[in-house]
């Protein structure tokens, strides 16, 4: 409730809360440099190792970027790139069985449906990036791994087209979390070329529906597209 006055039993939490508070109050914004670790330690009355533990957390969460040496790129710099942190969180939770694979897939369905609906409903949203990836996927000599990487890129491009960075970050993370399972699933598919061809045409159909502003069709198509692949790859529950 009141993080600013909480005692924060552990020293590294003190550092974390202090930085979060600076962020909230606008004393720190992306692009700013944090004081040197040694100075921060003295200023907050903790050891340098405690400062480092807090910075490590912030780094993994995508809030700071650290650099050695001197100059403007050195030191701990505030950034705001949530992709990495979201991916790490989801990936590890899936690995630790905190997030069942089925729930991850179902969440993808919810978010992707909302994405295509939003993009289809807003004529101002450009799907140029998605089309570019779609064209790249037409190359005939793609390995399954390359194809799936482009597939992830395509879905991400759609999410970004929706303009919602939270959803885009979550979708990137969800995809990363199940990346190894998707890859393993591809190996189980007997006729990969046939599947790839089907996925290509499904992608094209989805984009067409989105571009046409047909939100309802886009929802249905993306839903079937995703559930279809997971069923074929032997990842679906039912």
Partner DNA sequence: CATGCTACTGTGGTCAGACCACACGAGGAG
Partner DNA sequence: CTCCTCGTGTGGTCTGACCACAGTAGCATG
Q: Residue 122 has what DSSP assignment? A: -
Q: Which is nearer to a copy of itself, 95 or 194 (CB)?
A: 95
Full DSSP string of 20-80: HHHHHTTSS-TT-BPPPHHHHHHHHTS-HHHHHHHHHHHHHTTSEEEE-SSSTT-EEEE--
* Residue 20 contacts a copy of itself per CB under 8 A: yes
Choose between 21 and 39: whose C-beta lies nearer to DNA: 39
Within residues 101-140, the interface with a copy of itself by CB under 8 A covers 103-104, 106-107, 110-111, 114
Among 6, 38, 74, 95, binds a copy of itself (CB under 8 A): 95
Residue ranges binding DNA (CB under 7 A)? 9-12, 34, 36-39, 41, 45-50, 52-53, 55, 66-76
Token representation of residue 77 = 């710099």
Judged by CB under 8 A, does residue 100 bind a copy of itself? Answer: yes
67 touches a copy of itself (CB under 8 A): no
Is residue 18 involved in binding a copy of itself (CB under 8 A)?
Answer: no
Q: How many binding residues for a copy of itself (CB under 8 A)? A: 55
Among residues 71, 76, 25, the alpha carbon closest in space to that of 48 is found at 76
């Amino acid at each position: 409730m009141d993080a600013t006055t909480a005692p924060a039993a552990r020293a590294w939490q003190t550092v974390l809360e202090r930085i979060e508070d600076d962020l909230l109050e606008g004393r720190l914004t992306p692009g700013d440099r944090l004081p040197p670790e040694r100075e921060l330690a003295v200023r907050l009355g903790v050891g340098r190792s405690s400062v480092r533990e807090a910075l490590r957390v912030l780094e993994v969460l995508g809030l700071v970027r650290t650099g050695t040496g001197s100059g403007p790129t050195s030191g701990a710099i505030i950034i705001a790139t949530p992709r990495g942190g979201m991916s790490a969180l989801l990936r590890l939770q899936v690995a630790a069985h905190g997030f069942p694979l089925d729930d991850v897939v179902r969440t993808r369905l919810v978010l992707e449906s909302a994405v295509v609906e939003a993009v289809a409903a807003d004529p101002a949203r450009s799907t140029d990036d998605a089309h570019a990836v779609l064209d790249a996927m037409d190359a005939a000599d793609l390995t399954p791994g390359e194809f799936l990487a482009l597939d992830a890129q395509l879905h991400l491009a759609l999410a970004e087209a929706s303009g919602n960075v939270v959803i885009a970050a979550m979708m990137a993370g969800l995809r990363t979390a199940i990346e190894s399972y998707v890859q393993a699933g591809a190996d189980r598919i007997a006729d990969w070329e046939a599947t790839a061809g089907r996925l290509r045409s499904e992608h094209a159909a989805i984009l067409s529906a989105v571009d046409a502003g047909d939100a309802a069709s886009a929802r249905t198509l993306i839903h079937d597209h995703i559930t279809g692949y997971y069923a074929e790859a032997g990842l679906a529950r039912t």
